[in-house]
A and B are shown apart, each in its own frame.
Chain A
Amino acid sequence: MIALKKHDRKGRLIAVEGLDGSGKSTQIYLLKRWLELEGYKVFFTEWNSSVVVKSATKKGKKRQLLTSTTFSLIHCTDFADRYERQIWPLLCAGYIVLADRYMFTAFARDSARGCDPLWVRNMYSFATVPDITFYFKVPPAVAIDRILESRPTLKYHEAGMDLNLSQDPYQSFRIFQGMINDAYNKMSREFNFTTIDASKPVDVQQKRVRRVVQKKIDLPAYKLKARSIV
C-alpha cells in the first residue's frame, strides 16, 4: 500500500468531501466566512479549477475525448497545479487552507471508472493528507433528489455516462453516485474522516463543523498579522 504523507508545516489543511448534493460546498463556504470574519489567514480552493489546465479539461469533456485514464490524469494535473502554486506555499506560509474536494474525490471516482486504485493513489502521493477531512454523509437517494430537483440536465461525466451503467442519464447517475458513496464509506476509517450528518439542518451542521475546527486547530495562531500594521 502506498503511504500518503502528512505535512509538517505551520499551516492547516481542511478538506470537505461528499456526494454531489450533500451540501458540502455550502458548509465550507460558511466555514470560510466565519474564519474570514474572525480575521484568520484563510484560503479557499476548489476541485477542477486550475486556469492552466481548465481549457484542456473542458475540451476533453465536451468532445468526450477522455478515457478513465486520461480523465484521472487530467484531474490530477489540475490538482497538482493548484497544490504546487497555492496549497503547498500557503501551508508553508501558515495559512488555513480550505479545499472543496480533495484527493479522496479522485480515489472514489477514478476507481469507479476502472482505474487501478494503487496507481491513482501513487499519482496523488506527492500531496499531503488534510489535517481535517469533513465527510458530509447523506443517503445517496437524498443527495440525488437534491441534485435532480435543482438541475435537471446532467452533464455526461457527472452522470457517469462514460461508465456505460445505463442508457438513461438519471439511472446512470443514481448507480454512479451509489458507487462513489460506497467508496467514501470505505475510505472513511482509513483516512480518519470526520463524518457530518448532512441530512441535518444547515446551521446545525455548521455549528458542529466550527466546533471541530476550534478543537483541532489552535486558531489564535492563524490571526492575520498584517492587520495590526494598518
Chain B
Amino acid sequence: MRFYGKGLPNVKPEELIGKLIVIEGADGSGRSTQTRLLTNWLEGKGHGTVNVGLKRSNLVGTQLAAAMEGNTLSPITLSLFYATDFADQLENRIIPALKAGFIVIADRYIYTLMARDILRGGNREWLQKLYSDIALVPNAVFFLDVAPRFLIERNFSKKAGLDYWESGMDIRLSRDIFTSFIKYQGKLRSEFKRLQEHYGFEVINGNRSPRAISLDLQRKIEKILPQTTGT
C-alpha cells in the first residue's frame, strides 16, 4: 500500500498486506447495509474483516459525540477533532489490521470529512494537506450515489426524521429542515464529484435494491482480493 503524502512516522507501507475498502455516501445511502453484507460475504469466504467508521476512536470518539450534541465547537476545531479521531483509528485499528492481512471496510473515510468541511467554508488546500499526508490510499473507494428524494424516504423510515448535521442546518441553507436537507445533500454530491476527479473513486448507482448493489460491489472487490493459492 501507499500513503497519499509523506505518511505516518514509523509506518512502513510495504508491511501492510491487507486491503482497505472504503464505502462513501450520504446518510441513508445504504452504507451500513452494504458494509454488513460485504462483511458477511468476506467472512464467508474466510477473510478476516474489520469495520471502522467516523467518531469511533477510543481516543476522542465520545468527546467528539458530546461536542456535537452541544454544538459548541467552532469549525476549525471541529475539523481537527475529526482529524484526530481519524488518525487514532488509522494508527490503532486500520494499520494493525492491514499488517495482519485483514480486509478493512471503512464506513466513510477522509472524503466525507473533507467534503463536509469544504461546504462549511473550510480551506480546500488546508484540508487536503491535513488528511492526504497521513491517509493511506485505499485499494477501492465506492461512492453510493443516491438521489436526494430517495435519501429522504430512507431517513424517515429509518429514524423517523432528518439529522441536524446531515441536513446542514448549521449552515443555514433554509429554515426548514426538508429544504435544507435537499440543498445540503445536493451540494455534498457535487463536492463528492469534485473530489472524485482528484482521488478517483468509483460511483455506484445506489438507487437499486441492496442485494443488487452488494453483488455489484462483490464483483468489483473480487478483483482486488488476495489470490488464494492451493486448494
Contact = CB atoms under 8 A, between A and B. Distances in A.
A140 B43 CA distance: 56
Given A126-B123, A126-B126, A84 B6 contact: no
A119 B134 contact: yes
B60 A74 contact: yes
The interface size bin for chain A is 20 to 34
B227 interface: no
B77 A77 contact: yes
A73 B64 CA distance: 14
Given A60-B59, A66-B59, A81 B88 contact: no
Interface stretch (B30-38, B79-87, B139-147, B179-187): B79-87
A58 B190 CA distance: 39
Given A81-B74, A116-B133, A65 B81 contact: no
A70 to B, nearest CB: 5
Given A69-B91, A70-B91, A52 B77 contact: yes
A73 B9 contact: no
Nearest to A114: B9
A26 interface: no
Nearest to B127: A122
Given A53-B81, A56-B63, A84 B9 contact: no
Interface in B78-105: 79-81, 83-84, 87-88, 91-92
A61 to B, nearest CB: 10
Contacts, number: 85
A52 B129 contact: no
Contacts of B58: 65
Chain B interface category by residue count: 20 to 34
Contacts of B67: 52
B96 to A, nearest CB: 12
Given A59-B59, A126-B123, A76 B91 contact: no
A81 B130 contact: no
B77 A81 contact: yes
Contacts of A77: 77, 80-81, 83-84
A103 interface: no
A157 to B, nearest CB: 14
A84 B74 contact: yes
Contacts of A200: none
A125 interface: yes
A114 B6 CA distance: 12
A67 interface: yes
- Find the residue from B8, B76, B83, B133 having the highest chain A CB count within 10 A: B76
B82 to A, nearest CB: 9
B231 interface: no
Contacts of B5: 119
Contacts of B75: 84
A184 interface: no
B77 A119 contact: no
Contact of B63 (A55, A66, A68): A55
Contact of B88 (A52, A65, A119): A65
The 7 A-B pairs at the shortest CB distance, nearest first, are namely A84-B74, A114-B9, A77-B80, A73-B84, A80-B77, A81-B77, A56-B63
5 contacts: A52-B63, A76-B80, A114-B10, A116-B133, A123-B80
Given A69-B8, A70-B87, A70-B88, 19 more contacts: A53-B63, A56-B60, A60-B60, A65-B59, A65-B88, A67-B8, A67-B9, A67-B87, A67-B91, A70-B84, A74-B60, A77-B81, A84-B76, A85-B74, A114-B10, A119-B129, A122-B130, A125-B126, A126-B76
